[in-house]
């Protein structure tokens, strides 16, 4: 490949590099000339698009991710101009789109550069990036936004709303001038409604009709026309290489119009995940000897009024969520926040030793590994009639955790030892009196075992000092370990496809449990241990009732699924017969190894 770069120094720097490697380098360095040269060498626009869409770094990022993760406006502008370019590639590790990567980059910038970041993401949205896509943590780009950056959050949420309702967007002027199809338009607001009915002039619509889509129609004529005028005068912002980025007036006006669009529809900040305590109780209890900082992430439905808070030892906090809530709960440890909880005490983006969520008290992203998780979908299944939940160690382990189902007036009564799992893999708690037992309905639990050595050495968050020669000998049984160290997940430690169940290991047939997963399953039989552990880790009961999540409970880990699998199958179908109650009262069932009544 000839003349791909300027000057002899750059020729030497990239000599022998593959076209895909040059693309990654160009996107990482904001080198538009290098990228243009690679594109020009392709035999056709289709070949160029194929090369751009398939080029990945060794860490699994596409060129678009590399550009977005570095805030490179110019190179992104060039990429988006290419015919057939994929706007929403998914990277290997986090399952992020470039839109996720761009939001993460904006979060790291000073407030002075927020306008530039908004301009960058606005361009990506306008080109077709989908803000509704969720990553592996089930988070959309808007869910990652720093809470202080309300303008960016609003932009993304309004864009989501536009996509969800684009079938309702019409332009009365274009409908009259260009006919019904609008096929040559580049505006999302020019599409013919999908219901097959001819659209009426919104100003003459029935005034009693007040749905959000109707209110939107009333504003769309003027907004769509203004958008087209703005797009004709659009210019890129100042170079991303500048220290303080600027944003042109046309971009500011476009953002204002998106806000106007949302106001016309009555859409409020918060969108689908707006918070508010709305009925299903979630109680969080701290039995740890020290303060913890519980956190929640809302994936669907309406979450609680806070997604992160401080909780003293021997205390509880009651929250509530909507009946269709899906989310996760975990606890952070050893945290130090600034006064308003927007960053760590030292101003950094990490405030907690474990479970940290970008350094903020009220979480907007899921926690970092290691973190023991409670995951639940309150209304799931084919008919949305069941709650599916689990305790997960897929993101590592930091604290013991137990669950207690809280029955409500109209919820199905179920024996408590069928619904209340626990994972206790920290030595002092496993020998303490059980805080999740019932003498009438005894919980099956694991037999006594050594919990000091289950976490593999390479995954210890706080490993012991290495011996004199700087290496751990094998076997390492005689090396003194800390009394307890949180345990990283293999995926967090290595990022390898085989550990993350991604890439060539992304199916149940190609992703197998390793040492960590096998050990985790031994100490916590009812917990998720790796991505394809569904069948041995997921609980399903008819929807209804709330949950208490207890951190640092006493007693051994439960072994409910292996003991009462048949009974749980009946419960999941809504059948709690006298036989189920009788079996639950008897506790231990013959033939189950390593299980004893609590």
For residues 262 and 340, membership in a common domain is answered with no
User: Which two tokens mark 512?
Assistant: 């197998």
For residues 458 and 318, membership in a common domain is answered with yes
Average pLDDT over residues 439-468: 80
C-alpha triplet 99, 103, 109: angle, nearest 5°: 145
Task: State whether residue 588 is helix, strand or coil.
Answer: coil
Q: Give Cβ neighbours of residue 141 (< 8 Å, ≥ 6 apart).
A: 97, 99, 100, 102, 103, 121, 131, 133, 156
- pLDDT at 143 (0 to 100): 83
For residues 204 and 253, membership in a common domain is answered with yes
Percent of the chain surpassing pLDDT 70:
71
Q: Is position 509 within any domain?
A: no
Entry pTM: 0.57
Better-predicted residue by pLDDT, 34 or 228: 34
Residue 460 clears pLDDT 60, i.e. is over it: yes
- pLDDT at 47 (0 to 100): 93
For residues 431 and 318, membership in a common domain is answered with yes
For residues 89 and 219, membership in a common domain is answered with no
For residues 324 and 429, membership in a common domain is answered with yes
**8-state DSSP, 458:** G
Tell me the CA distances in angstroms from 414 to 25, 65, 537, 560, one per residue in order.
58, 48, 19, 14
Q: Which of 118, 146, 174 is the last residue before a domain boundary?
A: 146
Q: Is position 156 within any domain?
A: no
Q: Is position 2 within any domain?
A: no
Between CA 395 and CA 307 the distance in angstroms is 19
- pLDDT at 222 (0 to 100): 40
Residue 593 clears pLDDT 80, i.e. is over it: no
Q: Is position 429 within any domain?
A: yes
For residues 266 and 335, membership in a common domain is answered with no
Q: Is position 346 within any domain?
A: yes
Predicted confidence (pLDDT) per residue in 539-572, tens digit: 999 998 999 999 999 888 999 999 998 899 899 9
Contact 35, 23 (CB under 8 A): yes
Between CA 416 and CA 404 the distance in angstroms is 8
CATH label of the domain that carries residue 22:
1.25.40.20
Predicted confidence (pLDDT) per residue in 81-138, tens digit: 898 999 999 998 888 999 999 999 998 888 888 889 999 999 999 888 999 898 887 7
Domain that holds residue 255: 166-273
- pLDDT at 362 (0 to 100): 93
CATH label of the domain that carries residue 286:
2.60.110.10
Percent of the chain surpassing pLDDT 90:
36
For residues 36 and 131, membership in a common domain is answered with yes
User: Which two tokens mark 360?
Assistant: 């903020």
Q: Which of 95, 116, 146 is the last residue before a domain boundary?
A: 146
For residues 297 and 218, membership in a common domain is answered with no
For residues 108 and 53, membership in a common domain is answered with yes
For residues 238 and 291, membership in a common domain is answered with no
Q: Is position 170 within any domain?
A: yes
- pLDDT at 212 (0 to 100): 38
- pLDDT at 278 (0 to 100): 52
Between CA 82 and CA 64 the distance in angstroms is 12
User: Which two tokens mark 162?
Assistant: 């536009």
When the pLDDT of each residue in the chain is averaged and rounded to a whole number, the result is: 76
Confidence class of residue 144 from pLDDT cuts 50, 70 and 90? confident
For residues 224 and 315, membership in a common domain is answered with no
What is the total count of domains within the chain?
Answer: 3
**8-state DSSP, 503:** G
Q: Residues 253-269, buried b or exposed e (16+ Cβ, 10 A)?
A: bbbebbeebbebbebee
Question: Which secondary-structure segment (H or E) carries 119?
Answer: helix 114-127
Predicted confidence (pLDDT) per residue in 376-392, tens digit: 999 887 788 899 999 99
Task: Report, in this order, helix, strand and coil percent for the chain, each rounded to 5.
Answer: 35, 15, 50
Q: Is position 472 within any domain?
A: no
- pLDDT at 437 (0 to 100): 63
User: Which two tokens mark 270?
Assistant: 């918060």
Better-predicted residue by pLDDT, 204 or 364: 364
Q: Which of 230, 246, 273 is the last residue before a domain boundary?
A: 273
Q: Is position 79 within any domain?
A: yes
Average pLDDT over residues 320-346: 92
- pLDDT at 466 (0 to 100): 62
> On the CB side of 403, how many CA atoms lie within 13 Å of its CA?
30
């Amino acid at each position: 490949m000839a003349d791909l770069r300027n000057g002899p120094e750059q020729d030497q720097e990239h000599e022998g590099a593959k076209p895909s490697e040059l693309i990654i380098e160009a996107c990482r360095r904001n080198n538009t000339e290098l990228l243009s040269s690679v594109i020009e060498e392709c035999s056709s626009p289709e070949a160029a698009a194929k090369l751009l869409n398939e080029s990945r770094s060794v860490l699994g990022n596409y060129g678009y991710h590399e550009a977005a993760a570095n805030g490179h406006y110019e190179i992104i502008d060039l990429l988006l101009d290419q015919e057939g370019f994929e706007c929403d590639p998914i990277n290997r590790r986090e399952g992020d789109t470039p839109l996720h990567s761009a939001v993460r980059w904006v979060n790291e910038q000073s407030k002075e550069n927020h306008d530039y970041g908004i301009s960058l993401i606005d361009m990506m949205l306008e080109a077709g990036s989908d803000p509704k896509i969720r990553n592996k943590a089930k988070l959309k780009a808007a869910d990652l936004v720093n809470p202080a950056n309300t303008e960016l959050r609003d932009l993304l949420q309004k864009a989501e709303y536009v996509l969800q309702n684009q079938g309702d967007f019409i332009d009365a002027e274009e409908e009259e001038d260009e006919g019904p199809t609008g096929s040559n338009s580049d505006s999302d607001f020019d599409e013919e409604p999908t219901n097959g009915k001819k659209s009426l002039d919104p100003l003459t619509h029935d005034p009693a009709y007040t749905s959000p889509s109707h209110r939107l129609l009333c504003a769309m004529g003027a907004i769509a026309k203004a958008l087209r005028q703005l797009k004709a005068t659009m210019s890129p912002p100042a170079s991303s290489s500048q220290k303080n980025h600027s944003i042109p007036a046309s971009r500011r006006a476009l953002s204002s119009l998106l806000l106007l669009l949302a106001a016309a529809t009555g859409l409020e900040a918060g969108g689908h995940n707006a918070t508010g305590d709305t009925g299903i109780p979630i109680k969080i209890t701290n039995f740890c000897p020290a303060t913890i900082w519980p956190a929640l992430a809302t994936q669907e439905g309406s979450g609680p009024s806070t997604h992160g808070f401080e909780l003293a030892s021997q205390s509880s906090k009651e929250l509530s969520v909507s009946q269709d809530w899906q989310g996760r709960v975990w606890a952070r440890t050893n945290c130090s926040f600034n006064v308003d909880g927007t960053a760590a005490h030292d101003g950094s983006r990490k405030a907690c030793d474990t479970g940290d969520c970008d350094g903020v008290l009220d979480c907007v992203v899921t926690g970092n590994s290691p973190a023991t998780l409670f995951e639940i979908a309150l209304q799931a299944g084919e008919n949305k009639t069941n709650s599916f939940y689990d305790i997960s160690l897929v993101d590592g382990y930091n604290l013991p955790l137990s669950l207690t189902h809280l029955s409500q007036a109209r919820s199905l009564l179920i024996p408590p030892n069928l619904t209340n799992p626990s994972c206790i893999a920290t030595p002092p708690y496993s020998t303490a009196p059980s805080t999740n037992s019932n003498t009438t309905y005894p919980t099956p639990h694991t037999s006594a075992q050594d919990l000091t050595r289950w976490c593999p050495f390479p995954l210890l968050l706080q490993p012991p000092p290495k011996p004199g020669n700087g290496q751990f000998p094998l076997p390492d049984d005689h090396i003194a370990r800390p009394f307890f160290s949180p345990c990283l997940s293999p995926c967090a430690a290595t990022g390898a496809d085989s550990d993350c169940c991604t890439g060539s290991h992304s199916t149940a047939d190609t992703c197998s449990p390793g040492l960590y997963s096998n050990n985790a399953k031994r100490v916590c039989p009812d917990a998720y241990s790796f991505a394809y552990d569904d069948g041995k880790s997921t609980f399903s009961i008819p929807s209804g009732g709330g949950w208490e999540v207890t951190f640092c409970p006493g007693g051994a880990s439960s072994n409910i699924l292996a003991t009462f699998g048949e009974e749980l199958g009946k419960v999941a179908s809504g059948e709690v017969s006298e036989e189920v109650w009788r079996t639950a009262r008897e506790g231990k069932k013959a033939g189950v190894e390593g299980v004893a009544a609590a």
